[in-house]
Amino acid sequence: MSKKILIVDDDEDLLEIMVERLRMRGMTVVSASTAIEAFTLIEQQTFDVMIIDFMLPEIDGLQAIKMIREKQPGMRIILQTAYATIEKESEALALGAWDVVEKPADFDRLTQLIKQ
The stretch 19-29 carries a mean pLDDT of: 94
Q: Domain residues for 103?
A: 4-115
pTM (predicted TM-score): 0.91
Question: CATH number, domain at 18?
Answer: 3.40.50.2300
Q: For residue 87, what pLDDT is reported? A: 86
Q: How many domains does the chain have?
A: 1
Mean pLDDT of 71-83: 88
Other beta carbons within 10 Å of 35: 22
pLDDT of 1 reads 56
